[in-house]
Amino acid sequence: MAKSKKLVDLKYENFTFTQKNEIIKLLNFNQNSMNVEVAIFKNDKFVKNSKMAFAHLPKNLKIKLNPKA
């Protein structure tokens, strides 16, 4: 039996962090691939959407998402 895809919508949770003078906002979390879709802002202007590995998130955000629960 195939696994169902688990995609968690984070757009309205306002999970953000700062990295290299950029503000990174979490958009979606794919629990199957353990990737996070993010929006990157620089100087309060949108730069691009990108994907990031869950392992590269700050520890405080990893605890809030907790994929094992």
pLDDT per residue as tens digits for the range 26-69:
999 998 999 999 999 999 999 999 999 999 999 999 998 876 65
Nearest to 37 by CA among 14, 11, 59: 11
In a domain, 57, yes or no: no
In a domain, 6, yes or no: yes
55 is written with which tokens? Answer: 């392992």
Q: In the chain, how many domains are there?
A: 1
In a domain, 31, yes or no: yes
In a domain, 8, yes or no: yes
- Note down the domain range covering 6: 1-13+26-45
pTM for this structure? 0.84
Beta strands in 16-59 (DSSP E): 16-19, 22-30, 35-42, 45-53
In a domain, 3, yes or no: yes
In a domain, 51, yes or no: no
